[in-house]
Amino acid sequence: MPGLTAVDDGPHIPPAGKGPAWQESWSLDWYDPESGAAGAYRLRTDWARRTAEVRTWTAIGAEVAKDVQTIVRPGDTPGGGHVGTLRFGDLLVRTVMPLRSYVVAAGRPGSEVQYTAFTEPFRFSMSGQRADPGGEYYESFGRVTGTVQAGGRALELSTYAFYRHIWGVPATDTHPVQSVRGVFGEDLFFSIVEYRTPTGRAPLGYLFEGGEFHGVEKVRFRTETDDGGTPRGCDLLIATADRRDFRIPGVVAVSTGDGPGFATFDLGRRRGGGILEVHDHRG
């Protein structure tokens, strides 16, 4: 993605007149099927109201440690994107290398991991896409290493992960329905969000395979949920803009209830880990 600088690593100052519509968020997600270790760390800020919401899920096997906090900020404003440390409640995000590497600590007792991207930060788009959620963002795939704690257990881990940073004014008529992302290795990963738009449902995302990105033109999720709308699995049928077809079945191995499901995915003979999320459990 052209134009990214170290300034984009940190908080962004809302332009004049944007008011409470302006939002900024950070997220780090992973699931390692071999060890059963998983994490979903989410931070959303409202600079106009000076509040922040922290939502974290850390799992070891079937044990899930969940934390939700709403923090009232003091009267300061974002520092113009200064690279450094963000601390909100029990969540800390510290930049190691701008746009590429971060230390993330969460919870009490705390889990602490370091994320290091193996891709350059990017914003994926393609001509003719039918969903525009608004705002700016960049994302990357990489690896997390460190120690996680849940259910009285501590576990050292090293596995693949996904990082995203979003800021701006979201579109008022485009809303996420469900999303999925998974990684099989540095040569094979994917990220897809299905949106509800004024003209119907439309996907936005990609699959990286064969050394290049393939934009998703169509996707059928075939998501299975329980009676409460919590995802249990999916059968992804993907058609890319360059006329490639993929089928990726997924099974939620660890459910968080109201958050993302930590899932295994299969593509050919390869198995990967990631998340499956239904954004409105009310349907």
Could you read off the pLDDT of 191-200 as tens digits, one per residue?
Answer: 999 999 999 9
Alpha helices in 117-261 (DSSP H): none
Residue 138 has pLDDT above 90, yes or no: yes
CA distance 188 to 208: 5
Mean pLDDT of 197-216: 93
pLDDT at position 139, please?
Answer: 94
Query: Are the CB atoms for 144 and 37 separated by under 8 Å?
Result: no
Instruction: Give, in order, the Cα–Cα distances in Å from 150 to each of 56, 66, 176.
Output: 12, 9, 29
Residue 283 has pLDDT above 50, yes or no: no
pLDDT at position 109, please?
Answer: 65
pLDDT at position 110, please?
Answer: 80
Mean pLDDT of 215-241: 94
DSSP 223: -
- Neighbour tally for 178: CB within 10 Å: 21
pLDDT at position 81, please?
Answer: 45
Task: Record the tokens describing residue 204, joined without a space.
Answer: 């936005």
Which amino acid, residue 183?
Answer: V
Could you read off the pLDDT of 81-124 as tens digits, one per residue?
Answer: 445 788 888 898 999 999 999 999 987 768 999 999 998 898 87
CA distance 244 to 238: 8
Nearby residues of 216 by Cβ (< 8 Å), 6 or more positions away:
192, 203, 204, 205, 206, 207, 238, 239, 240, 241
CA distance 133 to 197: 9
Query: Are the CB atoms for 43 and 91 separated by under 8 Å?
Result: yes
The CA angle 85-91-97, to the nearest 5 degrees, is: 35
Could you read off the pLDDT of 140-173 as tens digits, one per residue?
Answer: 999 999 999 998 899 999 999 999 999 999 999 9
pLDDT at position 231, please?
Answer: 94
Residue 20 has pLDDT above 90, yes or no: no
pLDDT at position 131, please?
Answer: 85
What value does the mean pLDDT of the chain take?
89
Which amino acid, residue 163?
Answer: Y
pLDDT at position 64, please?
Answer: 93
